């Protein structure tokens, strides 16, 4: 198991992620509708942080690195000792901001990413617990 900011080779967790890095920490969440608005805005934008297209993925995340917008990462949540059965794919559609302090907040609290509200609902249904506005631990392969 990986704690804090430690990293291990992802192939130790799942051989199909050979060469990738796995990090374990907290996965936060956006409120309902916020991620969708971010996606609409980024599709209308031009420039390096615009989204060009939306591939088929399991969900959407905000990441700490704005240069990763448009990339796909893999996440597997954990509640207590129970792990979700698979890694799911997530498109990076947003990032933290130094202006509003969210980058510092993510780093201080070991927040790896923030997922869309529908993902939290889906994970909560699987674990049979209300995860909305609760810390969820998990592994991110990026």
pLDDT score, position 17: 55
Residue 63's domain comprises 27-141
Residues in the chain: 142
Phi and psi torsions of 17, nearest 5°:
-100, 30
Q: Is residue 3 part of a domain?
A: no
How far is the C-alpha of 138 from the C-alpha of 22, rounded, in Å? 10
Q: Is residue 14 part of a domain?
A: no
Query: Tens of pLDDT along the chain (142 residues)?
Result: 222 333 333 333 454 555 567 888 899 999 999 999 999 999 999 998 999 889 899 999 999 888 999 999 999 998 888 888 888 999 999 998 888 888 888 889 888 899 999 999 999 999 888 887 777 888 888 7
Q: Is residue 110 part of a domain?
A: yes
Q: Is residue 16 part of a domain?
A: no
The domain tally of the chain equals 1
pLDDT score, position 79: 86
Q: Which of 80, 79, 96 is nearest to 38 (CA)?
A: 96
User: Residue 76: which CATH number?
Assistant: 2.40.40
C-alpha 46 chain-centroid distance: 24
How far is the C-alpha of 113 from the C-alpha of 116, rounded, in Å? 10
Residues 108, 96 contacting (CB under 8 angstroms) = no
Q: Is residue 9 part of a domain?
A: no
Q: Is residue 8 part of a domain?
A: no
Any idea which residue has 């608005």 for tokens?
A: 37
CB count within 10 Å of CB 44 equals 9
Q: Is residue 95 part of a domain?
A: yes
pLDDT score, position 141: 84
Q: Is residue 17 part of a domain?
A: no
pLDDT score, position 15: 44
């Amino acid at each position: 198991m990986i704690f804090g900011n430690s990293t291990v080779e992802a192939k130790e967790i799942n051989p199909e992620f050979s060469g990738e890095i796995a990090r374990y920490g907290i996965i936060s969440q956006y409120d309902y509708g916020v991620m969708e608005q971010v996606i609409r805005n980024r599709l209308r934008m031009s420039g390096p942080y615009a989204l060009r297209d939306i591939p088929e993925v399991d969900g959407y995340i905000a990441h700490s690195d704005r240069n990763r917008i448009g990339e796909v990462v893999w996440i597997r949540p954990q509640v207590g000792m129970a792990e979700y059965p698979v890694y799911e794919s997530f498109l990076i559609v947003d990032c933290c901001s130094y202006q509003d302090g969210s980058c510092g907040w993510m780093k201080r609290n070991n927040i790896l990413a923030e997922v869309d509200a529908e993902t939290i609902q889906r994970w909560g249904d699987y674990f049979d617990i209300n995860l909305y506005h609760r810390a969820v631990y998990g592994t991110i392969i990026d």
